[in-house]
Chains A and B, each alone.
Chain A
Amino acid sequence: MSRIPALLLVCACLIAVAPLGAHHSTAMYTGSRTIAGTVVKFEWTNPHAHVYIETKDEKGATVVWDCELMSLNHLRSYGWTAKTVKPGDMVSATGMYARSGDPSMIASRMKLADGREISS
């Protein structure tokens, strides 16, 4: 077996399951999508913050997405505080979504109510 393909294979596998932010891996998430809607709850907590965003699915039904963010200390380094989002804000979130199909994602960036985009 050639060494280079083997290296690439190992790297690809590890990139897929490598720990993120060190608390847990992202192997339970896949792909990438953006959702937009209204914040219904914001949990400013460790080991991860969570923003719950109410959206409409393709049939018009209400779906609340659990958007997992980084830990608070990482978020602070991006410019976040406990008041960066609040219920009622219109926001969007982009990130990997749960393999299970649950409305759960790990958001890597968000567009806030004031139009700013921010890492998350």
Chain B
Amino acid sequence: MKRVLTVASFLAVWVCVASTQAPQTPQGANAGQQPGAPAQGAAPGQGGRGGRAPITPRIVRFEASPSSIKPGESVVLSWATEAGTPAIDNGVGAVPPRGTAKITPRVTTTYTLTMGDVTRSLTVTVAGTAAATPGAANTAGASGATQPIARIDGKPDFSGIYGFTGMASLGGRGGRGAAAAAPAAPASPFADLPARPTLKPGVDNTAKPNPAGGTADCMPLPADTAFGVPYPFQVFQNKNYVLIVNEYPGTFRIIPIDQPHRADAADDPTWMGDSVAHWDGDTLVIDTIGYNGKHSIGGIQEPSDRFHTIERLTRTNAKDIFYEIIYEDPEKATGQWRASRTFAGDTRAGVNKILEFVCENNRNYVPLFGPQGPPAPQQGGRGGLQ
């Protein structure tokens, strides 16, 4: 029964997150409202946030410039949509609600922008060529999971944007950034670890977050806790460093490869801890110590100064990452425990960076609960992957 309730809890949380998220978060430089967009009413819906009313999806604009080219020349597709998850066929793929994409069709090709039941098509004419076979990949530069894995100095390159990709990614198993159809998880020496910590006797693990929610204070979210929010993260990598930047709440980790921890890391703890990395074959292993314990992570409230995480990143294809994290806190729990998920790379055309997020206007939400106050604190910490 306990297991059933736990599974139900996770599913319900994901359902809630899915029902309240934007169709897509645009990272393209061209995101924004289009001047002169024709007014169009939307279908009335029910409920507020937590019961978000659906707005009728519509395609405001879908154009090609120029619409006729010579072989080898390029065309810029531009589009503007509302209230949906748009995609363009012929190798362009999922795209932000508004944006542009430079394409080089080899033959005369009809492109269709699809957003649910709404579609709009245009044809790019390539001089001297016949119309393309419908459904064929006629566009150079098409992205996908079938490409070879990029490498840096012989090791997999994890560079890219990973993040919430809309409700389509949920599929009953996902959440923020989860791959829609994740390949089988690679073998891991930690695969048999439990999913929850085994607390030592007498450890008080009562939650002490902001009653408005554990992420409501805009404080940094270390390690996997950063993946429990619907904002993307971006990875940059070279031979000697990996840089992970989280859009919310605007934090970063600079991770040296094959270098030791900062000498005073244990005595000078920080929100994100001190991370270094090494390679285990093609798996990038990130070892982090020196957490300041001011947060909830891996099911532990306010971990001790001996809290330690090991993150393992493995490419499952050219765009997706299998991620697992192993936790240990010798002061508060016995042994190790683990969580894992697969992150889908965001390969939408025009998406090349995450955006700024500065918490300049945070509020105290507690008074809005009224006389009855917020719910009582619960046992158990908030983990980013849960």
Chain A interface residues toward B at CB < 8 A: 1, 3, 6-7, 10-11, 14-29, 31-32, 43, 45-48, 50, 68, 70-74, 76-81, 83-84, 94-96, 98-102, 104-109, 114-119
Cβ-defined contact, B39 with A116, below 8 A:
yes
Given the contacts A22-B215, A73-B25, A79-B97, A46 and B360 also touching, CB distance less than 8 Å: yes
Cβ-defined contact, B12 with A14, below 8 A:
yes
Cβ-defined contact, A107 with B216, below 8 A:
no
B11 within 8 A of A: yes
Given the contacts A17-B375, A96-B48, A77 and B23 also touching, CB distance less than 8 Å: yes
Q: How large is the interface on B (under 10, 10 to 19, 20 to 34, 35 or more residues)?
A: 35 or more
Q: What distance in Å separates the Cβ of A105 from its nearest Cβ neighbour in chain B?
A: 8
Cβ-defined contact, A94 with B82, below 8 A:
no
Q: Which of A27, A105, A115 has the most CB of B within 10 A?
A: A27
Given the contacts A46-B361, A76-B31, A99-B370, A109 and B55 also touching, CB distance less than 8 Å: yes
Given the contacts A10-B5, A11-B8, A28 and B365 also touching, CB distance less than 8 Å: yes
Main SS class of interface, B:
loop
B359 within 8 A of A: yes
Chain A: which residue is nearest B7 at the CB level?
A: A7
B75 within 8 A of A: no
Q: What distance in Å separates the Cβ of A34 from its nearest Cβ neighbour in chain B?
A: 10
| Interface locus among B146-154, B227-235, B272-280 | B227-235
Main SS class of interface, A:
mixed
B128 within 8 A of A: no
Chain B: which residue is nearest A116 at the CB level?
A: B39
Cβ-defined contact, A18 with B21, below 8 A:
no
Cβ-defined contact, A24 with B361, below 8 A:
no
Give every chain A residue within 8 A of B215 (Cβ-Cβ): 19, 22-24
Q: What distance in Å separates the Cβ of A9 from its nearest Cβ neighbour in chain B?
A: 9
Option from B17, B33, B51 in Cβ contact (under 8 Å) with A81: B33
Q: What distance in Å separates the Cβ of B49 from its nearest Cβ neighbour in chain A?
A: 4
Q: What distance in Å separates the Cβ of B162 from its nearest Cβ neighbour in chain A?
A: 15
Option from B213, B230, B248 in Cβ contact (under 8 Å) with A24: B213
